[in-house]
Amino acid sequence: MADIVAPDVRSRMMAGIRGTNTKPELILRHGLHALGFRFRLHDRKLPGRPDIVLPRYRAVIFAHGCFWHGHDCHLFRMPSTRPEFWEAKIVKNREMDVRAFDALAKLGWRLGTVWECALKGRTRLPLEDVIGECADWLRSDVPSLEIRGSG
């Protein structure tokens, strides 16, 4: 199926998609900060440039977009235009995630992932629950956390 917008318009649209300071990330940051957690953002010295770095807790949190990381939820649908390109792109993103998670674990960091579907869409969870679960995890010594939408 052909794209419904001109190539220059599509290029401009795709260029406008941010990799940092996304809405799910801002929601998490605001909620954690309100609970007294202090953190660094997008530390380039760490593998995978985690979205939120909490050195005091030796923990990092990734706010993953369901589309870009190929999550198995209602927010992910493989585009019908250029499917080979998109499949390769998403597979590469997943591989980079695995490498970053492995490297961070070897460095002794605890890993948290909050999926976009936990914060928006029909399977979203109450925001207080998501932030509370992150806070409880940070105060514990559990090595990993994954929050995904209900369903």
pLDDT digits (tens, 9 = 90+) for 98-142: 999 999 999 999 999 999 999 999 999 999 999 999 999 999 999
pLDDT of residue 18: 67
pLDDT at 1 over 60: no
pLDDT of residue 19: 66
- Asked: is 18-147 a CATH 3.40.960.10 domain? The reply is yes
pLDDT digits (tens, 9 = 90+) for 39-71: 999 999 999 999 999 999 999 999 999 999 999
Token digits for 140? 């514990």
pLDDT of residue 14: 66
pLDDT of residue 82: 85
Going from N- to C-terminal start, the domains of the chain cover 18-147
Average pLDDT over residues 137-149: 97
pLDDT, greater one: 145 or 11: 145
Structure-token match 């953190």, residue found: 39
Kindly list the strands in the beta sheet with 110-115, ordered across the sheet, starting from the edge strand earlier in the chain: 40-41, 52-54, 59-64, 110-115, 144-147
Taking the model in full, what pTM does it have?
0.88
What is the Rg, in whole angstroms, of the alpha carbon atoms belonging to the chain? 16
pLDDT of residue 105: 97
CA dist 142 → 45, 96, 126, 136, 148 (Å): 23, 23, 22, 10, 17
Count Cβ atoms within 10 A of the Cβ of residue 119 and give its class: 0-12 exposed, 13-18 middle, 19 or more buried. buried
